[in-house]
Amino acid sequence: MGAYWIEGGSPLRGELCIHGAKNSILPILAASILTGGVCELHNCPRISDVEAALQILEHLGCRTEAEGQCIRVDTYEAVSRPIGSAMTERMRAAIIFLGPLLARFGRAELSYPGGCALGERPIDLHLMGLRHMGASCDSGEEGVSCTMEQPRAGVIALPYPSVGATENLILAATACPGETVICNGAKEPEILDLVSFLRCCGAQILVQGSVYRIFGGNALHPCSYRIMPDRMEAVSYLAAAAATRGDISLTNVCPEHLTAVLHVLSRGGCEISRGQGKLRLRCDRLCAVSPIRTAPYDGFPTDAQAPIMAALACAKGVSVMEETVFSNRFLHVPALNDMGANIHASRRYAIIHGVRKLHGAMVEATDLRGGAALVIAALAAEGKSRIDKTEHIERGYQDFSGSLQSLGGKLTME
């Protein structure tokens, strides 16, 4: 188990290059199974969730090779084998292997990742859609087992735009001869990145807003592909700069993917300039912004809620945040309050009374983005903090501590 020691109070300054997107590479690694050959992926973040996905691919008989930010996956000898709980617990997004395994082998079996810290993570929408495509799915206590002997195209209307369900259904639909239509699909940029990858592999997919039309039934081929930049990594550094009254520039970003968050930060008084693949944020003291309501894309992202809350904890005035995507996503609030924040959270709302100064404390990360929020608060706080259980943070940030150090953050790893 890891820990960070952070001496707060130094404004972050300098330039940072953002890594590839976690939520893009994970479904794309699973999608490589569909190609039965060697895919070469560039701009891959080297984070523990990616290592866990590679372990699942190896377990399925694939060969993987990683060198710097490049990953090669050979799925020629892949087989469909049960993916046990040891692997699904390491990577909660493991459910994304369901679609590709069904599409290529007609069967898939995996243990549930289990309820997670953010609340229940049901997979009913994934299974509903797969059943529409002719899959028969048994979901027992331990896990789910599906077969899809005769995939069939059709129209699937999702009652909620789930990111994972939209991706799984697109992936499974590549095996359905004819046109599969997914209505009310999620529109997160990472899903469009998955679609671009599949198109590079020869898939025919049309996207019209929240409607996906997949013309399936043809074999896909391997390709070489560059993963899009991680918008949540970018948000976290922007929030840290806003909290510490800093001035940072980010490269390898897509500012257009960050519109909702940039709107909040500029309403809070940050000076933001954008260029092609670049962003600069300067902030004196952040002012409260209210209300902020998380929502599917292109709303304010739930993954940005905790990092931005950490910045608002030391802003001038009172902000209100409403979490509508996950049922239990304010786990970081008690630790922020231990650092001197004044936040009242119920299940759905958090009222953040900005304080002049946070102070150092010994706290524990409970989840990925909540953990990043604690680091942001500690960088802004007066005095020393210790943040334990940083393995949560390493699931999604490559070299978080090194990047923050390069911006002048005083942080050491234990």
- Contact footprint for ligand UD1 (CB under 6 A): 23, 26, 93, 120-126, 160, 162-165, 186, 190, 302-303, 325-326
β 38-42/224-226 pair status: parallel
Q: Which of 319, 377, 369, 327 is nearest to 344 (CA)?
A: 319
Neighbouring C-beta atoms of residue 140, cutoff 10 Å: 9
Give the residue with the Cβ less far from ligand UD1, 218 or 327. Answer: 327
Beta strands in 83-233 (DSSP E): 107-111, 136-139, 143-147, 155-157, 178-183, 204-208, 211-216, 224-226
Q: Is 116 a catalytic residue?
A: yes
Is residue 377 within a helix (H) or strand (E), and if so which, with residue range?
helix 368-380
The SS3 of residue 357 is coil
CB neighbours of 342 closer than 8 A, spacing ≥ 6?
313, 352, 353, 354, 355
Beta strands in 184-227 (DSSP E): 204-208, 211-216, 224-226
State how far the Cα of 340 lies from the Cα of 338, in Å rounded to an integer.
5
Contact between residue 166 and residue 182 where contact means Cβ atoms under 8 Å apart: yes
Give the residue with the Cβ less far from ligand UD1, 191 or 380. Answer: 191
Catalytic residue (one of 116, 270, 287, 314): 116
CB of 170 to ligand UD1, least distance (A): 13
Give the residue with the Cβ less far from ligand UD1, 65 or 124. Answer: 124
Beta strands in 76-135 (DSSP E): 107-111
Query: For residues 276, 265, 5 and 323, what is the CA-based torsion angle, rounded to 10 degrees?
Result: -110
Contact between residue 14 and residue 407 where contact means Cβ atoms under 8 Å apart: yes
Is residue 322 within a helix (H) or strand (E), and if so which, with residue range?
strand 318-322
DSSP state of 160: S
CB of 344 to ligand UD1, least distance (A): 23
What type of residue sits at position 321? M
Q: Which of 1, 117, 7, 5 is nearest to 363 (CA)?
A: 5
Give the residue with the Cβ less far from ligand UD1, 83 or 339. Answer: 83
Give the residue with the Cβ less far from ligand UD1, 126 or 132. Answer: 126
Cα 120 from chain centroid (whole Å): 17
Q: Which residue in the block uniquely carries the two structure tokens 């198109």?
A: 199
Is residue 41 within a helix (H) or strand (E), and if so which, with residue range?
strand 38-42
Please list the active-site residues: 116
